[in-house]
Chains A and B, each alone.
Chain A
Amino acid sequence: MKKVISVLLLIAMLFTMAACGGNEGTKEDELKVGFIFLHDENSTYDKNFMDAAKAACEAMGVTYLQKANIPETNECYEAAIELVEEGCGIIFADSFGHEAHILKAAKENPEVQFCHATGTTAHTEEVANFHNAFASIYEGRYLAGVTAGLKLNEMIEAGKITADKAKMGYVGAFTYAEVISGYTSFYLGAKSVCPSVTMDVQFTGSWYDEQLEKEAANALINKGCVLISQHADSMGAPTACENAGIPNVSYNGSTAAACPETFLISSRINWEPYYKYIIECVQNDKAIDVDWTGTLETGSVELSDLGKNVAAGTADKLAEIEKGLKDGTVKVFDTAAFTVSGDAITANVKVDAEGHVTSYMADVDTDAAYTGDTEAIKDGAFAESSDRSAPYFDLAIDGITRLNSKF
């Protein structure tokens, strides 16, 4: 009987204590911003968002709330509503597949601002409190490509390779506009300084798979690629390059510590400027842009420090081109810089006699039939991210060979 009583007492104690305990110390009038992440800080993708979010909230003096490990299902909607109930004025989600669920929450809570990275539907849904955001990361990749091109030139001058052997390899995730836009801008950056460059692209069919990415990088090296870059986030490709002594252009942060001999440069999106922007908008009752594209100018596109083995004069050249990108004299997708031929000339593409694109109807207002709805060629260049923040450059240009495709 004694046992029974002690057990009952224990239950009573736990629950009364639990019911009394815990009132968080946040002020009620302070703006709260809630963040929804696909994974936790063990994923480099989410960590990039998480670090920026914490820094922005601290800098702006607002309360940071998070929901991590939220899959792209109804759980995302529930997480958003929970953040609304916690009193958040802004809710942000970081993964593409969160969009439909965030949109549903936005429609039900018009007084709260919902912001979604990488999404594509804000400009067609026209829900006043639902917004998309991305960054002109293609500019960062272009600059990374220039770094790669200069390295190739150095190899040619040193007699290590001949100009026609200047072939780069690229490990992509999916055959998706964001990836295509990324590797094409990287290639065009290299081509702007090393005209003979070509590139092979190997897709893995996964956003994060260390083994697959390593194998893809090794396969590219075996096919004669003398420089490798990648879209996916794992250390697979950089590690393969370090082992083989092949220069590598990284993504989403410097890999110099792990790959000191082969690391050249890395580009990434810094989300802190966007977070500061949306917090400022809500604090001052201003409307948030339906589609917001961060740039080099806003500090959203960042390049890492250069690796120790970059070609001489790289820093100066990068500064010069960065200036050109900022003032508009250099355009990444200048139609004069690339040609399209053969099967790549689809019904949506029009080219002149030399193969330069004169018109391209891009699928900006996404639909199930992938209808080309928006003219993307403006003022002699492909106007990436101008009609929607998420990239939509998906042309297959000459000089780049897709070894496979993964949808």
Chain B
Amino acid sequence: MSNAVKKHHEPLIHITKRDDMIWWKAWLIRLAAVLLGLLVVGVISVLLTKGNFFETYSIMLRGAFGRLGSGSTRLLWKFLLETALLLCLSLALTPAFKMKFWNCGAEGQALIGGLAAAIVMMKLGDKLPYWVVILLIFAAGILAGAVWGIVPALFKAQYKTNETLFTLMMNYIAMQLVAYYAYVNAVPAGSGQIQSIANGHLPVIGGQPYLLTILLALILTGVMLVYLKYSKHGYEISVVGESQNTARYIGINVKKVIIRTMMISGALCGLAGCLMVAGIDHSVNPDTVGGLGFTAIMVAWLGQLNPLIIVLMSGLIVFLESGAAKVADTFYLNGSYADIVAGIVILFVVGCEFFIRYSIKFRHKEGKA
């Protein structure tokens, strides 16, 4: 061609926003991200343990689901239980997050629900008929959780306080209250431990102690899906989340929506606390929720506030943590290993969204264009 054409500099990498990707392609990218993350985990594990590359994966799978062909379904139940509990808390946070209300208080809301359940179990468990006790446990736990959710919402709605700090600090109040209750009722005196509470255990379905919790989590998933997608409340939550001014303009009572949504969020966390205390542990201590309330924040976001994706993400996180704990115990690594494993995979999962939303084009070589 002619030299008259002015050469203009083209950048090496060109990033453009993609139009909507076909769903299955997006999911393949996400799956590839998880597998790539696991690949990096494998390499790091070999460096740390000097063990076999594939052994890491086999130990992880065994730690999460049990030994293949052993006929034992116990670890599978444990996996489902832990997924169900994490799912409950993540689902509880979802409506608040959708409203752009940063509820960082799932830990405390669940713990205070668990404490309320424990108090009913200890003080009324042997005084009232079994089913009355069970109903009271749920009522008390859900109410306590709801109160823990409403308080920061009220302050946010009335005085525009920062809800992140507020809900975080409410966690510590709940932990201290549980610690106090445990010390006051400790056996032996001064040990700070409530031993197993004898009465008010939730019913066991079909001989499987974890089944009730798992079923409730599944029901909750369905209910939350419908609530967010098809109900008037769900619509109001999205509008408030997008723009409070728009919400006001079309006549939505923003304060009411904030308080109502946080009440639901807290109540569901309280329900999860009930399940942990009355269904699983039969006791309460500041470790009962064990940080699950914080993990749930991450899971809700990884799940893009979509209940169905949240189910998958809960399962993924539980798999990574229980699998990595097994690897750590086998090779005498410490607790940080599980965090590293989860961190690496999550980084890939979060990172891959970039490639789903944007396409990258490299500069074409001169003359080949």
Given A71-B287, A97-B285, A100-B283, the answer on whether A21 and B54 have CB atoms closer than 8 Å is yes
**Interface presence of B100 (CB below 8 A):** no
Of residues 58 to 85 in A, which have CB atoms within 8 Å of B's CB atoms? 65-69, 71-75, 78, 81-82, 85
Mark out the residues of chain A between 338 and 386 whose CB falls within 8 Å of any chain B CB in the assembled complex: 363, 366-368, 370
Q: In chain B, what residue has the closest Cβ to A366? A: B188
Per-position 1/0 for B310-353, Cβ under 8 A of A = 00000000000000010011101011000000000000000000
A68 to B59, CA, bound (A): 16
Contacts A18-B58, A68-B334, A72-B285 known; A407 to B192 CB distance under 8 Å? yes
B129 at the interface (CB under 8 A from A): no
Do residues B57 and A73 form an inter-chain contact, with CB atoms below 8 A?
Answer: no
Are A42 and B283 closer than 8 Å at their CB atoms?
no
CA distance in complex: A168, B356 (Å): 67
* Chain A residues near B282 (CB-CB < 8 A): 100
Query: Given A42-B334, A65-B329, A81-B74, are A71 and B290 also a contact pair (CB < 8 Å)?
Result: yes
Q: Are B287 and A96 in contact (CB under 8 A)?
A: no
* Residue of chain A at shortest CB distance from B51: A22
Q: Which residues of B175-224 have CB atoms within 8 Å of chain A's CB atoms?
A: 183-193, 195-196
CB-based contact B328/A68 at 8 Å: yes
Contact with B along A1-35 (1 / 0, CB 8 A): 00110010011001001111110100000000000
Kindly state the separation between the CA atoms of A85 and B59 in the bound complex, as whole angstroms. 15
Which chain A residues border B281 with CB–CB below 8 Å?
73-74
Interface: A208 (CB within 8 A): no
B280 within 8 A of A: yes
Distance A98 CA – B361 CA, assembled complex (angstroms): 57
A 108-122 binary contact with B (CB < 8 Å = 1; else 0): 000000000000110
Q: In the bound complex, do residue A363 and residue B188 qualify as a contact, i.e. CB atoms below 8 Å apart?
A: yes
* B: contact size bracket: 35 or more
Interface centre among B39, B188, B189, B335 (most CB of A within 10 A): B188
Q: Report the separation of the CA atoms of residues A175 and B192 in the bound assembly, to the nearest whole angstrom.
A: 10
A21 CB contact (under 8 Å) in B55, B67, B184: B55
Separation of A96 and B182 alpha carbons in the complex (Å): 14
List the A side residues contacting B57 at CB < 8 Å. 14, 17-18, 21
Say yes or no: is B52 at the interface (Cβ < 8 Å to chain A).
yes
B58 contacts A21, C-beta separation under 8 Å: yes
Assuming the contacts A20-B54, A22-B52, A100-B196, asked whether A368 and B334 have C-beta atoms less than 8 A apart, the reply is: no
A4–B35 touching, CB < 8 Å = no
CA distance A338 to B313 in the complex (A): 62
Given A7-B35, A73-B288, A407-B192, A18:B332 Cβ within 8 A: no
Please encode chain A, from 167 to 184, with 1 for each CB lying within 8 Å of some chain B CB and 0 for all others: 000000011110100000
In the assembled complex, A154 has its CB within 8 A of some CB on chain B: no
The answer, yes or no, to whether B13 is at the interface (CB within 8 Å) is no
Q: Is the CB of B52 within 8 A of A176?
A: no
Docked complex Cα distance between A18 and B72 (Å): 19
A7-B32, A67-B329 as given contacts; A176 in contact with B285, CB under 8 Å: no
Asked if B250 is an interface residue, CB under 8 A from chain A, the answer is no
Knowing A17-B57, A22-B58 are in contact, say whether A177-B188 is a contact too (CB < 8 A): yes
A22–B55 CB distance below 8 A? yes
B75 within 8 A of A: yes
Q: What are 26 of the A-B contact pairs (CB < 8 Å)?
A: A7-B32, A10-B32, A19-B58, A19-B68, A21-B57, A66-B332, A67-B329, A68-B329, A69-B335, A71-B287, A71-B290, A73-B280, A73-B283, A73-B285, A73-B288, A100-B195, A100-B196, A100-B282, A103-B196, A120-B188, A174-B191, A177-B189, A177-B190, A366-B187, A394-B189, A407-B184
Q: CB within 8 Å of A: which residues of B?
A: 28, 31-32, 35, 38-39, 52, 54-55, 57-62, 67-68, 70, 72, 74-75, 78, 183-193, 195-196, 280-283, 285, 287-288, 290, 325, 328-330, 332, 334-335
New contact pairs (4) apart from A72-B193, A73-B280, CB-CB < 8 Å: A7-B32, A74-B281, A366-B188, A368-B187
Lowest 3 CB-CB distances: which A-B pairs, in order?
A176-B190, A18-B57, A21-B54
